[in-house]
């Protein structure tokens, strides 16, 4: 039976993703400053006046002006050099849009009224992924990013972007793949943006190479792990092939083209947006570029560019395969894990649950979790290196009273399991500000912590370990006890 929360106010705050999250507060503070900035800009006032007759979305889209003149000539030179370096002939140049960071920031002000009352409409905030709920139940200071936060963050964080723009085929009708565009902040282009333009053009070449299937693959990725693995390949390849404007012969080709000076004022916004991310999210965001490009550089050195081309056509399903190259060639698949439906039915025969949201977080996510909390690089490496598979699930009862996240992690063998137990215990201990306790009845099997927004239990089994988080200590105990006492396994 699901537990009744004892204090309705506390329950409200557990479920309120707005009131209690430091991240949201920070974000609002940044946005409040942005509002003042917006109000001071005469250009923003003009844009806002257009809202009487136009949709914000249409005004936003009017920002997209294809590069022409000298800018276009520079893009063409960079595109040719990129295709040559990457080894995929360019069939046609996609439309390239150049937007200044300052304009981007002004246009973002069109959406700022949404932030005036962030405690307003529920549907403006999306929640869902098990990891976000886990973070909340762990009392992590994090807001699950909804669409609006996402668009705000991307408006401030990105340098270049490759993707689809709706109706782009009407702007430039043609063959498949036209409508994929590159956006790079700030014309006239400073030399620094040669790297960004070439990076985005590699994405275009990748899409061309895969038969315009990149977006399908992003859409079809079923787990965080699979999505991360895909990002490592796609972003790693693009990062590896970034060109620099200060190296000849590109330098000579671009010599006659005027480059505008880059003003630093807008970098400030970038840093603030970046700092608004929680450390683990920031680490995961950039891992695709950093670790992804190292992994692919090694692969290229060992097996040539063809190996990366092949990887793009058949992306790995797991970051584990990229971190351990021998697993890439052996095509080892992650192990299947506990039957959650059976577990649920056994533990709570009378409770009606929503369809659980199930995710696999992967080796790299485990690594970034341990590292961002403990700061121990060796520990994070030794725990994650033995990752065999994992399964994170979010269960919610239909009456809305019970919320549980279970995370089962299986390690490759006994030694790795020991490292895993050690690492997760250290992580929970530090995460809980040293308030997590061993169970007095069974000090070696269970760690527990009753935090401000949820209760956490670390359950240690012979070949696996589970993290259980719930919106109440009794519920957490019930699930943890049920896992320990169950008589079946189905993950070996």
Q: Where are the alpha helices (DSSP H) in 158-278?
A: 168-171, 193-209, 214-220, 224-240, 250-254, 267-276
Give CA angle at 279 (275, 281), nearest 5°.
95
Among the residue ranges 230-238, 292-300, 337-345, 375-383, the one whose residues contact Zn ion (CB under 5 A): 230-238
Please identify, using beta-carbon distances, which residue of 238 and 243 lies nearer to Zn ion. Answer: 238
Please identify, using beta-carbon distances, which residue of 143 and 237 lies nearer to Zn ion. Answer: 237
Which phi and psi angles does 390 have, rounded to 5°?
-155, 165
Is residue 214 involved in binding Zn ion (CB under 5 A)? no
Is residue 281 involved in binding Zn ion (CB under 5 A)? no
Please identify, using beta-carbon distances, which residue of 238 and 361 lies nearer to Zn ion. Answer: 238
Please identify, using beta-carbon distances, which residue of 218 and 271 lies nearer to Zn ion. Answer: 218
Residue showing the smallest CB distance to Zn ion in the complex = 238
Among the residue ranges 170-178, 236-244, 371-379, 450-458, the one whose residues contact Zn ion (CB under 5 A): 236-244
Q: How far is the CB of 391 from Zn ion (least distance, A)?
A: 29
Please identify, using beta-carbon distances, which residue of 285 and 358 lies nearer to Zn ion. Answer: 285
Q: Which residues make Cβ contacts (< 8 Å) with residue 20, sequence separation at least 6?
A: 13, 453
Among the residue ranges 35-43, 180-188, 217-225, 234-242, the one whose residues contact Zn ion (CB under 5 A): 234-242
Is residue 183 involved in binding Zn ion (CB under 5 A)? no
Report the distance separating Cα 304 and Cα 324, nearest Å.
Answer: 18
- CA distances (Å), origin 441, targets 102, 315, 438, 446: 61, 47, 9, 9
Give the helix/strand (H/E) hosting 96.
Answer: strand 96-99
Is residue 235 involved in binding Zn ion (CB under 5 A)? yes
Q: How far is the CB of 206 from Zn ion (least distance, A)?
A: 9
Is residue 238 involved in binding Zn ion (CB under 5 A)? yes
Q: Secondary structure of 192-225 in the HEC alphabet? A: CHHHHHHHHHHHHHHHHHCCCCHHHHHHHCCCHH
Q: Which pairs from 366-370 meet CB under 8 Å and 24+ separation?
A: 366/390, 366/409, 368/280, 368/283, 368/284, 368/287, 369/280, 369/427, 370/423, 370/424, 370/426, 370/427
Among the residue ranges 22-30, 66-74, 233-241, 355-363, the one whose residues contact Zn ion (CB under 5 A): 233-241
Q: How far is the CB of 144 from Zn ion (least distance, A)?
A: 24
Check residue 354 and report its DSSP letter: P
Q: How far is the CB of 202 from Zn ion (least distance, A)?
A: 8
Please identify, using beta-carbon distances, which residue of 144 and 237 lies nearer to Zn ion. Answer: 237
Q: How far is the CB of 183 from Zn ion (least distance, A)?
A: 12
Please identify, using beta-carbon distances, which residue of 235 and 317 lies nearer to Zn ion. Answer: 235
Q: How far is the CB of 365 from Zn ion (least distance, A)?
A: 20
Which phi and psi angles does 365 have, rounded to 5°?
-65, -40
Binding site for Zn ion (CB under 5 A): 235, 238
């Amino acid at each position: 039976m699901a537990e009744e929360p004892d204090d309705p106010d506390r329950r409200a705050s557990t479920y309120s993703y707005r009131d209690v999250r430091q991240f949201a507060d920070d974000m609002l503070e940044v946005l409040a400053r942005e509002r003042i900035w917006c109000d001071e800009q005469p250009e923003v006032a003009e844009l806002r006046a257009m809202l009487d007759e136009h949709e914000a979305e249409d005004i936003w889209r009017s920002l997209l002006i294809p590069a022409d003149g000298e800018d276009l000539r520079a893009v063409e030179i960079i595109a040719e050099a990129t295709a040559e370096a990457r080894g995929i002939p360019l069939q046609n140049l996609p439309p390239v849009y150049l937007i200044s960071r300052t304009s981007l920031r002004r246009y973002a002000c069109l959406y700022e009224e949404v932030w005036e009352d962030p405690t307003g409409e529920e549907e403006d905030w999306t929640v869902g992924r098990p990891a976000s709920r886990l973070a909340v139940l762990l009392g992590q200071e994090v807001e699950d990013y909804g669409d609006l936060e996402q668009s705000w963050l991307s408006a401030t964080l990105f340098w270049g972007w490759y993707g689809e723009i709706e109706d782009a085929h009407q702007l430039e009708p043609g063959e498949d793949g036209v409508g994929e565009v590159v956006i790079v902040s700030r014309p006239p282009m400073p030399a620094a943006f040669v790297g960004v333009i070439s990076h985005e053009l590699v994405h275009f070449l990748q899409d061309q190479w895969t038969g315009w299937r990149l977006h399908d693959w992003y859409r079809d990725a079923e787990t965080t792990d699979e999505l991360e693995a895909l990002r490592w390949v796609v972003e790693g390849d693009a990062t590896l092939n970034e060109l620099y404007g200060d190296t000849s012969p590109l330098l000579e080709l671009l010599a006659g083209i005027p480059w505008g000076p880059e003003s630093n004022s807008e970098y400030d916004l970038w840093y603030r947006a970046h700092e608004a991310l929680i450390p683990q999210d920031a680490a995961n965001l950039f891992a695709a570029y950093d670790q992804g490009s190292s992994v692919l550089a090694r692969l290229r050195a060992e097996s040539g560019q063809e190996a990366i081309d092949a990887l793009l056509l058949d992306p790995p399903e797991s970051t584990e395969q990229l971190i351990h190259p021998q697993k890439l060639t052996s095509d080892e698949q992650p192990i299947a894990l506990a039957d959650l439906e059976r577990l649920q039915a056994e533990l709570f025969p009378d409770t009606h649950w929503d369809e659980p949201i199930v995710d696999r977080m992967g080796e790299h996510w485990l690594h970034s979790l341990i590292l961002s909390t403990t700061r121990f690089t060796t520990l994070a490496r030794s725990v994650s290196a033995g990752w065999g598979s994992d399964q994170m699930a979010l269960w919610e009862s239909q009456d809305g009273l019970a919320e549980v996240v279970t995370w089962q992690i299986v390690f490759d063998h006994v030694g790795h399991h020991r490292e895993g137990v050690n690492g997760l215990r250290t992580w929970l201990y530090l995460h809980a500000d040293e308030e997590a306790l061993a169970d007095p009845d069974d000090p070696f099997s269970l760690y527990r912590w009753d935090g401000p927004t949820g209760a956490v239990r670390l359950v240690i089994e012979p070949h696996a370990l589970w993290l259980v988080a719930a919106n109440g200590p009794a519920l957490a105990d019930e699930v943890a006890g049920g896992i320990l006492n169950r008589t079946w396994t189905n993950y070996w």
